[in-house]
Structure 1
Amino acid sequence: MASLRNIPPRALDAFDLAILRIVQKDNKTPQRVIAEAVNLSPAAVQRRITALERSGVIARNVAVVEPEALSLAITALVEVSLRDERAATVDAAKALFRATPEVQQCYYVTGGISFVMVIICRDMRSYEALTRRLFAENDLVAYYRTNVALDRVKADTALVVD
């Protein structure tokens, strides 16, 4: 995923914002439909979408897959505290968490813990094996705490576009 920290600012106008509202909900919306909705030509919509992609405003185009369809039954919300907050320790932890496919989201945070993450696994046995490798047997980690989700009430990818 592109990080906006490395992307020069691009001014977004009302047309760009209107296009973003539509493609966040369904990026397969035909450009002629988007064009009608935002009062632009399909060619202008195409140019704007391309510019939004190139500038990193649109970071990726992906399919959102239901975990249950792949028999992924466990969603865990995990708080991790590192042994120390030295740059090398934090960077090593970030690299490990980025490289772990079961880690769906990971945030480096303030306030007594180091990371908050969302992990999705097939079952408790696979979650236990993952936690041993990532946390329990990892010298970088001081402790971790897991909350297992009982129900996914909302999981959205769309941002509020004003």
Structure 2
Amino acid sequence: MDAIDRTILSILQQDSETPVAQIAEQVGLTSTPCWRRIQKLEANGIISRRVALLQAQTLGLTMTVFVQVKAGNHDKKWLSTFSQHASSFDEVVECYRMSGEYDYLLKVLVTDMACFDHFYKRLVSGIAFSDVTSSFAMEQIKYTTAVPLTHL
């Protein structure tokens, strides 16, 4: 990966619909070699997909909740069951297995407290947890989907 690839990635992270000709001009290439680089970045799995980013607040999803979970036990079956269970909720937009005091961290988007309560009851039903705690985001200071490229 060279400086041209990094610049292409930076442009695409800002707007994936930027025309290839415009990207090519910004990186000092003609359209064909620029398009080949983009295709290579896709083939190598660096660009996994191109999506539309939606404004959750505008769509009424005004509450962001971070749910921390302690596993009921640490056997393979529980871990697999929990992963499938947590992934099945549309409200869960991110889910991580963590080190430290809590085993999992879920980022949940909902419209209000009643909606979160409904989600919470469904989350805890049918699975044994050691502990579940929730923190409500009061303000979003920074949000980006852009991956840092400065280390490349």
Settle same-fold status: TM greater than 0.5.
Answer: yes
Which SS does the other structure have where 1:47 is aligned?
A: helix
| Partner in structure 2 of residue 61 of structure 1 | 50
Count of residue pairs brought into register by the alignment:
150
Instruction: Give the ranges of 4+ consecutive aligned residues of structure 1 lying more than 6 Å apart after TM superposition.
Output: none
Matched, 1:141 2:129: yes
Which SS does the other structure have where 2:78 is aligned?
A: helix
Aligned residue runs from structure 1 range 123-134, under 5 A = 123-134=112-123
| Partner in structure 2 of residue 18 of structure 1 | 7
Q: CA deviation at 1:134?
A: 0.8
Conserved 8 A contact 1:76-1:149: yes
Counterpart among 21, 24, 27 of residue 16 in structure 2: 27
Q: Distance in 2 between matches of 1:77 and 1:139?
A: 19
Q: Distance in 1 between matches of 2:143 and 2:97?
A: 20
After superposition, what is the alpha-carbon deviation per residue over 1:13-47, rounded to whole angstroms, capped at 9, x for unaligned? Answer: 32221111111111111111111111111111211
Conserved 8 A contact 2:82-2:127: no
Aligned-partner residue type, residue 13 of structure 1? D
Name the % identity: 29
RMSD of equivalent CA atoms: 1.3
Gaps of 5+ in 1: 1-11
Matched, 1:111 2:96: no
Q: CA deviation at 1:139?
A: 2.3
Q: Distance in 1 between matches of 2:47 and 2:76?
A: 29
Q: CA deviation at 1:86?
A: 1.4
Which SS does the other structure have where 1:70 is aligned?
A: coil
Q: TM-score, normalised by structure 2?
A: 0.92
Counterpart among 37, 59, 67 of residue 70 in structure 1: 59
Q: Distance in 2 between matches of 1:64 and 1:150?
A: 22
Q: Distance in 2 between matches of 1:150 and 1:58?
A: 32
Gaps of 5+ in 2: none
Conserved 8 A contact 1:81-1:142: yes
Q: Distance in 1 between matches of 2:9 and 2:119?
A: 36
